[in-house]
A and B are shown apart, each in its own frame.
Chain A
Amino acid sequence: MASGSSIDVLGQFELHPVLGGLGEAIRLSQSPVYMVIACALVLAFMFYGMKPASVVPGRFQAAAEICYEFVRNLAVDTIGPEGTSFFPFIFALFFFILAGNYLGLVPHSFTFTSHIAVTFALAIMVFVLSIIVSLKVQGLKFFAHFMPAGAPVALAPLLVPIEILSFLSRPVSLSIRLFANMVAGHVMFDIFASFVIMLAGLGFIGDVLAVGPIAINIALIGLELLVGVLQAYVFAILTCIYLREAVAH
């Protein structure tokens, strides 16, 4: 968003209370509203897709089934047979992030996955879940994972802190990966869009030159569509890998 000649690329991430004073009191910004829209879209997609519930699916039903089977295979192939019980969680996680990423690509909308608070909360949820599952399945043997099997005992004072650090860095890396990708994409949109407005002030030659940033932004939409699904996939598959590690004996 350009105000005058300066570029304010970060204004798009600002939160505003909705419903006026009530929203301010209950800390309700546009971000949770978009979360509700994203979840409603996913649920509506599943509802209308599966409404015919026919043996030979139509296009819409086939799409809903593909989504189901894609995430199910992801969960079961990665986690193993225990993946079935985690499948609804992985499905919710994947489509929550995917819908958030894609909803943010709609002009004038808001990307809740561009907020570190949201992505970090999701990552902590995954982290805590994996620890709970680990402790439940493996008991105290869970702590043995911090000493790599087969490594010399003499190296333990070095290896154990590294393993603990790498374990603790999981939620950080998981959340920052998604957050940084979303922020970077939307900042780039804003920068190139601002270029168009700035070039418009140069008269005819500016109008001609402005085609460049517009073309770049069109290409960026394509890239962001890829990044949106890729980041959701990465988040989901890393969650699956952490859970596989948790359920492994």
Chain B
Amino acid sequence: MRLPVSLIRRSLLAGVSGLPLIVAAAPGAYAAGMPQLDFKNPLVTGQVIWGGIIFLFFYLALRNWALPKVETVLSNRHERITGDLDQAHEAKMEADKAVRELNETKKAAAAQAQAHLDSVLAQEHAASAQRLAEINAKLETEIASAEANVAAERKRAMESLRPIASDVAESLIQRLTGQAPDRASVDAAIARASVQSAH
């Protein structure tokens, strides 16, 4: 680790500029007047000893008493602040958890309501489909019975038509030929014709 160059230059400069003062400290320079450079005065050198003792006590008082006191206060404050921050953090976590729970409950309730709605709808659908099926079945049986009736009526009408046709054919043949035809052959011919027209 080296000092910055500027610092070296500065300290060198200061050292050089201080040289005249060191020269002035030489014996005889005191005549020029600076009481600080009168090193023959025991009070001047006495300052060093007294200053050393005083500074030592000052240092010890600061290190062992005054500064630890500040340190304690500052660390207490730091602990208090971080403690409060932790507490606030915990409270926020709890609030977040409560919000999350609330949201979940809301979602569950909505899902339940939807399911209920769906089931009611499904039931309703099933019921209406059943009703429709019943109505259809009823209508079909009615249609079937009506058709059966119609077929029976038709059959009866057709059956009652044959003697009329035989009579008409007999009278037509008598008028055309002048002689009465054989009733049995007329009936057979009618039956044949009606079977053909039925196809």
Contact = CB atoms under 8 A, between A and B. Distances in A.
Interface of A: 10-11, 13-17, 24, 26-29, 31-32, 35-36, 39, 42-43, 46-47, 50, 53-55, 57, 61, 64-65, 68-69, 87-89, 91-92, 95-96, 112, 114-118, 121-122, 125, 145, 148-149, 165-166, 169-170, 172-173, 176-177, 179-180, 183, 241, 244-245, 248
Contact of A46 (B2, B48, B66): B66
B92 interface: no
B14 A88 contact: no
B67 A68 contact: yes
A55 B8 contact: no
Contacts, number: 166
Contacts of B51: 31-32, 35, 112, 118, 121-122
Given A64-B70, A91-B62, A92-B58, A15 B47 contact: yes
Given A16-B43, A43-B62, A46-B70, 8 more contacts: A17-B43, A27-B49, A35-B51, A35-B55, A36-B54, A53-B73, A116-B36, A117-B45
Contact of A15 (B15, B43, B59, B67): B43
- Using C-beta atoms within 8 Å of the partner chain, give the interface range for chain B: 35 or more
A65 B74 contact: yes
Contacts of B126: none
A176 B49 CA distance: 19
B70 A179 contact: no
B100 interface: no
A96 B43 CA distance: 20
A15 B43 CA distance: 7
A interface: dominant SS: helix
B59 to A, nearest CB: 4
A45 B15 CA distance: 35
Contacts of B54: 32, 35-36, 39
Contacts of A149: 2
Contact of B15 (A35, A68, A172): A172
B47 A170 contact: no
B43 A241 contact: no
A245 B11 CA distance: 15
Contacts of B18: 172-173, 176, 180
B interface: dominant SS: helix
Contact of A166 (B1, B11, B72): B11
Contact of A28 (B50, B69, B71, B76): B50
A29 B35 contact: no
Contacts of A121: 47-48, 51-52
A166 B8 contact: yes
B33 A10 contact: yes
A102 B152 CA distance: 138
B62 to A, nearest CB: 5
Contact of A27 (B25, B42, B58): B42
Nearest to A46: B66
A43 B58 contact: yes
Contacts of A180: 18, 21
B59 A244 contact: no
Nearest to A69: B74
A246 B174 CA distance: 159
Contact of B46 (A32, A55, A170, A177): A32
A132 B43 CA distance: 29
B3 A92 contact: no
Contacts of B39: 117
B44 A50 contact: no
Contact of A241 (B7, B59, B73): B7
